[in-house]
Amino acid sequence: MEETYLLNVEGVKKKILHGGRGELPKLQDGSKFTFHFQTLKDDFERTVIDDSREAGVPMEIIVGKMFKLEIWETLLSSMRIGEVAEFWCDPIHTGMYALVSRGMRRIAEGRDPLEGQKHRCGMGNMFDYHSMGYDDLDELQRTPQPLIFIMELFRVEEPSAYKRDTWAMSKEEKMAAVPVLHSEGNRLVLRREFAKAAAKYQEAVICLRNLQAKEKPWEDDWLKLERLVTPLVLNYCQCQLELGEYYEVLEHTTELLQKHNDNAKAYFKRAKAHAAVWNEREAREDFQRVAHLDPSMAAAVKKELKQLGERMRKKHVEDRKRYRGLFQSSQGQ
């Protein structure tokens, strides 16, 4: 039998459509809800606005991570595992839904959910937009109204029970993750698993860049993080060299050198990438900078320049043969 009752929250009604099992989950910051949802208008037709099942992927939110639609955390906290429930929420709880829905739709379309947003709070962003890009969401934005959410809760995981995405980590968790990821990357390099190692270094860099974004550039705290970023980027580039991703190396070393133009190791890796894609002049210039900045690398530079010269001479011989063959072929026609 369906049971209808009010949650202890103003402007919310709950109806259990299918009972769950066990007790209400014990939640803490970082717990993760996994669920399907359907959003409907409170009209005669109960018009469907969004349905996560259409995307085929359940929704996930992290407790305490300031999800824009805060009421969802409250609703899910009232549910047992396996429960299906319908919630009626008045406009004091649904005013941000259009913004949330737009982000979810963009993700489903393979687009950036923050595309075009200014660095302001969510409500401020709503006033900046003339259109949400979707007619039904424009209507919700213009006319706040009650909405119905039908939710099916699949599982609730404690923070230690799942691998947490970088964005969901606290500052302390990100800082603790960096040396672990660095060590895992080094271990994978020794096993010559360069793609996996690169992924570890990249994840560590993302942790640090997220923290850096909260600091003022070039001040002490920002610089401390930058000193941790630099060796990780260089390790990542070394993996990409091993994998033959030379243009990836050129991109990341150039970006690094724009901030740190005295980093000999960055010049050395960029020089090797230039050499690999036949940019002889650029490779020679970078190798010469390496020898100037770090005389201890002079022997390595000399060896690389010798190999570069031999490769270029071989290439010129092959090119002359190819062009001569093409010229003779065209004359014989």
Q: What is the CATH number of the domain that holds 273?
A: 1.25.40.10
Last residue of a domain, one of 125, 157, 189: 157
Q: Can you give the pLDDT at residue 297?
A: 94
In-domain check, residue 164: no
Average pLDDT (76-87) is 94
Mark whether 197 and 306 lie in a shared domain.
yes
Contact indicator for 148, 15 with CB cutoff of 8 Å: no
CA 269 to chain centre: 25
Grade residue 166 by pLDDT with cuts at 50, 70 and 90: low
What tokens were used for 224?
Answer: 């401390």
pLDDT above 70 for 240: yes
Q: What's phi and psi for 94, nearest 5 deg?
A: -110, 5
Beta bridge mates, 157:
32
- DSSP letter assigned to residue 120: S
Beta bridge mates, 6:
13
Last residue of a domain, one of 133, 157, 181: 157
Residue 63's SS3 state is coil
Q: At what angle do helices 264-276 and 220-242 cross, to 10 degrees?
A: 30
Last residue of a domain, one of 107, 123, 157: 157
- Of the candidates 148, 14, 151, the residue with the CA atom closest to the CA atom of residue 91: 148
Mark whether 189 and 72 lie in a shared domain.
no
User: Across the chain, where does the E strand assignment appear?
Assistant: 3-6, 12-18, 32-41, 48-51, 59-62, 84-89, 147-157
Q: Specify the pTM.
A: 0.53
In-domain check, residue 24: yes
- DSSP letter assigned to residue 21: B
Q: How many domains does the chain have?
A: 2
Domain extent, residue 306, equals 171-321
- The identity of residue 184, as a single letter, is E
Mark whether 96 and 231 lie in a shared domain.
no
Mark whether 187 and 311 lie in a shared domain.
yes
For 51-55, 181-185, 236-240, which range has the lowest pLDDT when averaged over its residues? 51-55
pLDDT above 90 for 322: no
End-to-end alpha carbon distance in the chain: 90
pLDDT tens track for 191-236: 999 999 999 999 899 889 888 888 888 899 999 999 999 999 999 9
Rounded CA-CA distance 273/285 in Å is 13
Best-predicted range by mean pLDDT among 104-108, 154-158, 268-272, 326-330? Answer: 268-272
Q: Is 263 exposed, middle or buried (0-12, 13-18, 19+ CB in 10 A)?
A: buried
In-domain check, residue 163: no
pLDDT tens track for 95-152: 888 888 887 787 676 654 444 443 334 434 434 445 678 888 888 888 889 999 999 9
In-domain check, residue 329: no
- DSSP string computed for 159-197: GGGSPPPGGGS-HHHHHHHHHHHHHHHHHHHHTT-HHHH
pLDDT above 90 for 2: no
Mark whether 251 and 300 lie in a shared domain.
yes
Location of structure tokens 């040396």: 179
Average pLDDT (301-310) is 91
Mark whether 59 and 197 lie in a shared domain.
no
Mark whether 59 and 118 lie in a shared domain.
yes
For 12-21, 189-198, 271-280, 321-330, which range has the lowest pLDDT when averaged over its residues? 321-330
For 62-71, 239-248, 252-261, 318-327, which range has the lowest pLDDT when averaged over its residues? 318-327
Average pLDDT (168-193) is 86
Grade residue 64 by pLDDT with cuts at 50, 70 and 90: confident
Please name the helix (run of DSSP H) or strand (run of DSSP E) that holds residue 30, with its range, or none. none
pLDDT above 70 for 333: no
Beta bridge mates, 50:
39
In-domain check, residue 249: yes
Q: Can you give the pLDDT at residue 7?
A: 72
Mark whether 152 and 9 lie in a shared domain.
yes
Q: What angle do CA 259, 261, 266 make, to 5 degrees?
A: 95
